[in-house]
Amino acid sequence: MVARIRTGDLDAASSLLSRYQDVAYTTALRLLANTSDAEDITQESLVRAFTHFSELQEHASFSAWLRRITVNLSLNALRRRGLLQFESLDTDAGPEPRQHDAARQPPATPEDKALEGALGDQVKALMQRLPPEQRVAVVLRDVYGYEVPEIADLQRCGLSAAKMRVQRGRAALRRLLTETHVFSDGSND
């Protein structure tokens, strides 16, 4: 399909963007915690991907590339709102995903399993209650599999601060899950 798009096939481009629209929306919603903002960022991500499609390497993962665009645009939106102080790793559409980005699988944490299961909606709602810096750090680490140094770069903070945001975010989520009886910490047995 990439080859067809490179020859100017707009139907192929439209089909590809439609197929991956949910990837962009889900990514934006997890980071922004607002459906209207997520819809706006999704549209902007798709336009950015379309206008910069020539920058995508032929054998690169479109999904990983679109997700990186969406993450950067979402983080920029949070920064504009004054909720976070950090910058994008990339400019414009972003560079090609590194080799490991395309194959990156999120760690299998209890939070990830819950997001994928029947309790997903409850967990997502609780995630929105985390402070923005912690929510973003947890989503980037546990949902998208970014390493702590990458999170530190995105949030323009030191490694220890990024690690602390992930740890505190996980602890806060665990506490919320226990308080709302979504998960039990075993202390009431």
pLDDT for residue 168:
97
| Cβ–Cβ under 8 Å, residues 25 and 39 | yes
Which domains are seen in the chain, by residue range?
Answer: 1-104 (1.10.1740.10), 107-189 (1.10.10.10)
With pLDDT > 90 as the criterion, what percentage of the chain qualifies?
Answer: 40
pTM summary value: 0.68
Euclidean distance between CA atoms 3 and 79, whole angstroms: 36
3-state DSSP call for residue 126? Answer: helix
Encode 37-65: b = buried (16+ Cβ within 10 Å), e = exposed.
Answer: bbeebbebbbebbeeebeebeeebbbebb
Average pLDDT, the chain: 80
With pLDDT > 70 as the criterion, what percentage of the chain qualifies?
Answer: 76
Q: Is the pLDDT of residue 169 over 50?
A: yes
Residues 88, 94, 95, 97: is their CA dihedral positive or negative? positive
pLDDT for residue 18:
92
